[in-house]
Amino acid sequence: MLKLMKYELRKTAFSKLVLLVITAVAEIAFLIGVFWKKDNILAMGIIFLVMCTIFGVIYIGIESVNVLHRDLNTKQSYMLFLTPKSSYQILGAKILENGISIIMAGAFFAALAAIDVTVATLYIGGLKEMINLVSSFMEVNWSVTFTPAEAAFYFFGLLASWIVFIVNADLSVILSASVLAGRVGG
């Protein structure tokens, strides 16, 4: 099973590497804005980091559904199903690798956000001032109040719901390729 998961990880490794490079560029912009006290560059870095987080996790899930669809509906990966592994192991490895990739990306972005908040607190002056600044910004602009624990809970809750959504999409692709294969509209 681990060899199958490693194979699936290799299939999508390039796009994950591109996401990592884009995130590194956004992080460099954030750090330049913090250390050189350039608020415009800091704001752009924060915006791009948030966009990388949102679109990166979404893209990882959608790409895995597309890979599964391509594997089941084209002759591109027929050799995979000729290995001495059962179809359940192959499909399970695909779904597990996808879930692990989404969780790892979410944990990476959460750790990066924690590090960036720590760096930003040094820029602003302290943790309490940073939390007050973000809370007042959220309250004034969107009438939302939150604590850091609530923010982490919402983030990982959204991550879990995205994994459930992607697993449902995988199930629909599998059903479409197996049960509805060869039928009109299937």
pLDDT of residue 186: 54
Q: Which residue has the tokens 């590090």?
A: 115
Give the burial class of 68: count Cβ atoms within 10 A of its Cβ; 0-12 exposed, 13-18 middle, 19 or more buried: buried
**What's the pLDDT at 130?**
65
| CA–CA gap between residue 167 and residue 104 (Å, rounded) | 16
Q: How many angstroms from the chain centroid is the CA of residue 58?
A: 6
Q: Is 125 exposed, middle or buried (0-12, 13-18, 19+ CB in 10 A)?
A: exposed
Per-residue pLDDT tens, the chain, 186 aa: give them.
Answer: 888 888 888 989 999 999 999 999 999 998 998 888 777 888 888 889 999 999 999 999 999 999 999 888 888 777 777 778 888 888 898 899 999 999 999 999 999 998 988 888 777 676 666 667 667 766 776 666 667 788 889 899 999 999 999 999 999 998 888 887 767 665
For residue 152, what are the contacts with CB-CB under 8 A and spacing of at least 6?
110
